[in-house]
Amino acid sequence: MSEFPQVSQQSVKNDILSGLTVALALVPEAVAFAFVAGVDPMVGLYAAFIVGLITAIFGGRPGMISGATGAMAVVMVSLVAQHGIQYLFAAVMLAGIFQILAGVFRLGKFIRMVPHPVMIGFVNGLAIVIFLAQLGQFKVPSLAGGLEWMHGTQLYIMLGLVLLTMSIIYFLPKLTKAVPSSLVAILTVTALVHVLGLDSRTVVDFVRTMSGDANATLAGSLPTFALPDVGFNLATLKIILPYSLILAAVGLIESLLTLTVIDEMTNTRGHGNRECVGQGMANITCSVFGAMGGCAMIGQSMININSGGRGRLSGITAAIGLLVFILFGSSFIEMIPLAALVGVMFMVVIGTFEWASLRMIRKVPKHDFFTIILVTCVTVAADLAVAVFVGVIYSALVFAWNHAKQIYATSHTDKDGAKVYQVNGPLFFGSVSHFLELFDASNDPNTVIIDFAHSRVSDHSAIEAIDTLAERYASRNKTLHIRHLSPECRRLLQKAGNLVEVNMLEDPTYKVATDVLG
């Protein structure tokens, strides 16, 4: 992917309009996640601007939108509650450093190890999480305090406006694609509510409900530079290090998985390691400008892609548009009905969920389908990072179990009376027990040859198994010969002292795939 591609006026227009649409959708999300983390709404809005701008410029995936996210907010809340917001800024700074190091050491390539069923489960789980998050907009303050579900006329108006928004987004592209349908839907519903005087909650109502301040507003000023007000010592490091590691991991996992999803949607390729560096730079900048940090946002990224945003200009426009709204247009943003934004996010849910996965039960192995369900459920019940780790570990265990059963050996006696075992299949920690059962040291002749030409010795457990087998034959005064073993294994096995024959000409050299694309 070229860093400075030739762009047409049409692509510039699409990027700008889709970026403005995303900027509108970022407002309630950033505010909500700020309250989740236990910080002021402006801390979340500043993060949406800073992270969005820096990753749009320096990140590895044009068209991907980043900002304050719920996955990172739930990690932050405990730190803020126990130690205050300044320690949060310090933790975000250290997390950013870890993320940059991940990019420098090219760790972004490990996202390729995430199996496709885990990816599907991740996407489905996030779609459900986005859907459930929107249900909170159907609650209003009750007379007894707290929140209660809407009912009566207010509920019907809310549902009607949501359906109208979704209808515009769905049908308008069939008539014209000159402007993003999401932007048209938001503007149309906003105008309809205020012209007809409909009783519909707006963005400012949401902010005031979340903050408990009847005079709260989105109006703000430019963020100012200030280092985190903490002692830069081991005591501080001890407090923030666990949070920083989790924040860095969660941020990179969500960002790299979102990058992969957009790659598949656009049939292009982003750069994982560059995205790690971009995310790290963004979080370090957040820490010195009073912002809570963040990572990629799959919901807003889907809005951007579906609205025609493909280039870096779309992300830059979204970030700058958000800042302009904060500085000069807060009164207009506060007028937007929540129903319009909920309708946009519901369409994101519909477009994000892999509906084809519901039909996979008869088309894919049962363990793959179970992986999809498992990751989806864990994403909803816990969080993204835990879900991905669980999915990868489960997939790895299933892979190991299936391959452990594939090792077998055929045998014959050569012209010299030696018994030759031809081993087939991978030899690794999962298959060593079955491997050792393939040989009959007690009844075999005095000379035994094991040929590994059709086998792969994969790990230290495999080497130990071969060593154990050699000792079994040696204890019975029998000679064991090893053929077609890799040089690395041969050097370690020579410690056994009884391997007297090794075919040097036909020994394989194992190669390890390297990261060449970043």
How many Å apart are CA 55 and CA 272, to the nearest integer?
Answer: 12
Q: Rounded to an integer, what is the distance from CA 142 to the centroid of its chain?
A: 37
Retrieve residue 160's tokens: 């009607």
The answer to the question of residue 485 being in a domain is yes
Are 222 and 348 found together in one domain?
yes
Are 338 and 412 found together in one domain?
no
How many Å apart are CA 72 and CA 27, to the nearest integer?
Answer: 17
Retrieve residue 16's tokens: 């700008």
Retrieve residue 396's tokens: 């790895």
Give the β-pairing of 447-457 and 479-483.
Answer: parallel
Retrieve residue 65's tokens: 């939108």
Give the β-pairing of 66-67 and 295-296.
Answer: antiparallel
The answer to the question of residue 480 being in a domain is yes
* CA-to-CA dists, residue 385 to 33, 37, 380, angstroms: 17, 17, 11
Are 343 and 455 found together in one domain?
no
List, as one string, the DSSP characters of 362-391.
GTS-HHHHHHHHHHHHHHHHS-HHHHHHHH
Structural domain including 346 reads: 9-143+153-352
Residue 346 is classified by DSSP as H
Classified as helix, coil or strand, 186 is helix
Are 410 and 342 found together in one domain?
no
Burial environment of residue 220 by CB neighbours within 10 A (0 to 12, 13 to 18, 19 or more): middle
Are 260 and 117 found together in one domain?
yes
Within 10 Å of residue 134's Cβ, how many Cβ atoms?
Answer: 20
pLDDT of residue 4: 44
pLDDT of residue 244: 95
Are 325 and 195 found together in one domain?
yes
Q: Angle CA(238)–CA(240)–CA(245) in degrees, nearest 5? A: 105
The answer to the question of residue 386 being in a domain is no
Residue 438 is classified by DSSP as T
The answer to the question of residue 481 being in a domain is yes
Retrieve residue 318's tokens: 């979204």
Are 436 and 347 found together in one domain?
no
The answer to whether the Cα torsion of 140, 143, 148, 154 is positive or negative is: negative
Residue 355 backbone dihedrals phi, psi, to 5 degrees: -65, -30
The answer to the question of residue 385 being in a domain is no
Are 305 and 430 found together in one domain?
no
Are 61 and 174 found together in one domain?
yes
Are 418 and 341 found together in one domain?
no
* DSSP β-bridge partners for residue 448: 419, 480
The answer to the question of residue 316 being in a domain is yes
The answer to the question of residue 319 being in a domain is yes
pLDDT of residue 2: 42
First-to-final CA distance of the chain: 12
The CATH number assigned to the domain holding 467 equals 3.30.750.24
Are 209 and 75 found together in one domain?
yes
pLDDT of residue 162: 95
Query: What is the 3 state secondary structure string of 150-180?
Result: CCHHHHHHHHHHHHHHHHHHHHHHHHCCCCC
Number of domains forming the structure of the chain? 2
The answer to the question of residue 342 being in a domain is yes
Residue 158 contacts by C-beta under 8 Å, 6 or more apart in sequence?
A: 137, 138, 150, 200, 201, 338, 339, 342
Q: Angle CA(398)–CA(399)–CA(403) in degrees, nearest 5? A: 115
Q: Are 99 and 317 in contact (CB under 8 A)?
A: no
Tens of pLDDT along the chain (518 residues) come to 444 444 556 688 889 999 998 998 888 778 778 877 878 888 999 999 999 999 999 999 999 999 998 778 878 988 998 999 999 999 999 999 999 999 999 988 777 778 889 888 988 987 888 788 888 889 888 877 778 899 999 999 999 999 999 999 999 988 887 777 888 898 999 999 999 999 899 888 888 887 777 888 888 788 899 999 999 899 999 999 999 998 998 899 889 989 988 998 888 888 999 999 999 999 999 999 999 999 998 888 988 998 888 899 999 999 999 999 888 888 888 888 989 988 888 888 888 788 888 888 888 888 899 999 999 999 888 777 788 889 989 998 998 888 888 899 999 998 888 899 999 998 888 999 999 999 999 999 999 998 888 888 878 888 888 888 888 888 898 888 888 877 766 666 665 454 444 433 345 555 544 444 44
Q: Are 432 and 464 in contact (CB under 8 A)?
A: yes
How many Å apart are CA 152 and CA 343, to the nearest integer?
Answer: 20
Are 309 and 455 found together in one domain?
no
How many Å apart are CA 302 and CA 324, to the nearest integer?
Answer: 22
